[in-house]
């Protein structure tokens, strides 16, 4: 049975990475009840923006660019890690402005608009950065591999999983422990009340969407060194994110995290013992859980079910 242990460890890391991928998506679905199909495209966009920041893509050749490239890789990397998601967040805010006419209508319109936006963003990436595979560099200190029980594990992946834990906790603290989070959550459930209390609901939505998109961007930046970076990466993201939400239950933060860990464990362990089924395991999990629990693991009744 000792051979199982590394696969469990690996499954957990995988699960945390899945949670990171789904974080922005679950925030937007849970708080705003918009299924953001552009999540994957924003994920990819965030990674590309970070890549251009690190490699001085926009300003190479200028004196600033030369100075910039002289900086150590690690500092450029962490600035990229901050800047890429911020810019992806800005793109998300733009998308939120476009979404405004759809509020108050069936959830379908939001879904459709983001579907269109996903296509537009992906095509724009193709035009700007080209169709080829790009390589996202990783600073020395978090790259490489280490040995555990005689097996090689990726250092970067463990950092990424640790980062995912931090991101999950930060989002949770933001939602639960700040007055801002309380307003956002109230806004989702009773917008009349929030408006009556004098809060600017439009701005709140803008911020939530921007935040969710920035989380997508961060996830993109973190995942790009593992998955590689290409314009059509988005679809690889939307589908797991989406399955995780359905399994976890719409609107449930911890439901999504639990679902992500389950999906990670399922793919990790089937990957070792029944590899042909490793991707199918997500779908089997979906059918098994939704078949018994209509709203997923911890889902609550959604306002938009009516």
Partner 1 sequence: MAQSKISRRRLLTTAAAATGGMAFMGPWMHTRVYAQATAKPIRIGITSDASGQYANSGAEDRRGMMMAIAEANAKGGVLGRKIETFHLDTETTPATGSRVAERMITRENCGFLVGAIHSGVANAISQVAQKYGVIYLNTNSSAPSEAGQNCHRVKFVFDANGSNFAKAAVQASIEKFGKKWVLLTNDYVWGHSTAAATKALLKQFGGEMIEEILVPQGTRDFSSQLLKIQQLKPGAVAAAIGGDDQKAMRQQIAQLGMGDKTAWINNQQDWPDVYGLPLDNLFGVFGTTWYYNLDLPGVADFVKRYKTMFPDTAIKVPGNVFYNGYWAVRELLGAIERAGSTNNIKVIKALEGHKMPARDRMQHHDAWIDPVTHQVQQSIYLATANVGTKDPDDMFKILGNTSPQEALDPDASGACKLESYESTPTFDA
Partner 2 sequence: MITLSDIPARGGTPFTLPMALFVAILATAPFWLQWVGLYQYLGVEIAIWILFAMGFNLLFGYTGLHSFGHGAYLGIGAYGFGLFQHGVAVSLWGGLLAAILAATVAGAIVGAFLSHRRGIYYALLTIGFGQVFWFTAMKLHWLTGGEDGLLNIPRPDLVIGPWRVNLNDNAAFYWFVAGITAVAVVLMWRVVNAPVGRILQAIRQNETRARFVGYDVWRWKWLAFTVSAAFAGLAGGLFAMAQQSAYPDVMSLHQSGVIVMMVLVGGGLVSFWGPVLGVILYFIARDVLGGLTEAWLLWYGLIFVVMVMVRPEGLAGLIHTMARRAPPAVAPAAKPETV
The residues with which 148 forms a beta bridge, in sequence order, are 151
How many chain residues are in contact with partner 2, going by CB under 8 A? 45
- The stretch near partner 2 (CB under 8 A) out of 155-163, 175-183, 210-218, 245-253 is 245-253
- Using rule CB under 8 A, residue 111 touches partner 2: yes
Q: CA nearest 46: which of 3, 11, 113, 91?
A: 91
Site string for partner 1, 17-56 (x = CB under 8 A): x---------------------------------------
DSSP character for 178?
A: S
The residues with which 229 forms a beta bridge, in sequence order, are 134
The nearer residue to partner 1, 101 or 130, going by C-beta atoms, is: 130
How many chain residues are in contact with partner 1, going by CB under 8 A? 47
Torsion-angle region of residue 74: left (phi > 0), alpha (psi -120 to 50) or beta?
alpha
- Using rule CB under 8 A, residue 14 touches partner 1: yes
Cβ atoms of residues 217 and 89 within 8 Å: yes
Joined together, the tokens standing for residue 181 give: 């989070």
Residue 105 binding partner per list partner 1, partner 2, none, with a CB distance cut-off of 5 to 8 Å that depends on partner kind:
partner 2
The residues with which 154 forms a beta bridge, in sequence order, are 145
Joined together, the tokens standing for residue 255 give: 């439901």
- Using rule CB under 8 A, residue 120 touches partner 2: yes
Residues 6 or more apart from 56 whose CB is under 8 A from it?
Answer: 65, 68, 69
Rounded to the nearest whole angstrom, what is the least distance from the CB of residue 93 to partner 1 in the complex?
27
First to last CA, the chain: 49
Q: Report 258-297 residues binding partner 1 (CB under 8 A).
A: 267-272, 275-280
What is the chain's percent helix, strand, coil content, to nearest 5? 75, 5, 20
What are the residues binding partner 2 (CB under 8 A)?
A: 29, 33, 35, 37, 98, 101-102, 105-109, 111-113, 115-117, 119-120, 123-124, 126-127, 235, 238-239, 242-243, 245-246, 250, 279-280, 283, 286-287, 290-291, 294-295, 302, 304-306
What are the residues binding partner 1 (CB under 8 A)?
A: 3, 6-7, 10-11, 13-14, 17, 123, 126, 130-135, 138, 143-145, 150-154, 156-157, 225-228, 230-232, 236, 267-272, 275-280
């Amino acid at each position: 049975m000792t051979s199982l242990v590394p696969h469990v460890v690996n499954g957990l890391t995988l699960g945390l990475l899945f949670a990171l991928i789904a974080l922005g998506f679950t925030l937007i679905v849970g708080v705003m009840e918009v299924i953001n199909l552009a999540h994957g495209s924003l994920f990819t966009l965030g990674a590309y923006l970070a890549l251009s920041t690190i490699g001085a893509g926009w300003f190479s050749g200028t004196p600033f660019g030369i100075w910039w490239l002289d900086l150590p890789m690690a500092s450029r990397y962490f600035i990229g890690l901050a800047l890429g998601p911020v810019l992806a967040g800005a793109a998300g805010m733009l998308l939120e402005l476009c979404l405004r006419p759809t509020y108050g209508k069936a959830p379908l319109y939001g879904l459709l608009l983001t579907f269109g936006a996903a296509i537009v963003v992906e095509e724009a990436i193709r035009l700007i950065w080209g169709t080829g595979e790009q390589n996202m560099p990783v600073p020395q200190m978090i790259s490489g591999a280490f040995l555990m029980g005689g097996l090689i594990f990726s250092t970067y992946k463990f950092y990424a999983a640790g980062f995912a834990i931090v991101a999950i906790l930060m989002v949770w603290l933001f939602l639960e422990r700040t007055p801002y989070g309380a307003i956002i959550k109230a806004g989702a459930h009773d917008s009349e009340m929030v408006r009556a209390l004098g809060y600017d609901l439009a701005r709140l939505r803008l911020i939530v969407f921007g935040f969710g998109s920035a989380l997508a961007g961060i996830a993109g930046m973190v995942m790009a060194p593992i998955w590689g970076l290409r314009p059509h990466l988005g679809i690889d993201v939307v589908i797991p994110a989406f399955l995780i939400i359905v399994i976890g239950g719409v609107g449930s933060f911890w439901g999504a995290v639990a679902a992500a860990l389950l999906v990670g464990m399922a793919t990790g362990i089937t990957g070792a013992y029944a590899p042909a089924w490793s991707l199918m395991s997500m779908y089997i999990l979906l059918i098994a859980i939704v078949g018994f629990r209509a709203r997923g693991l911890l889902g609550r009744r959604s306002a938009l079910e009516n």
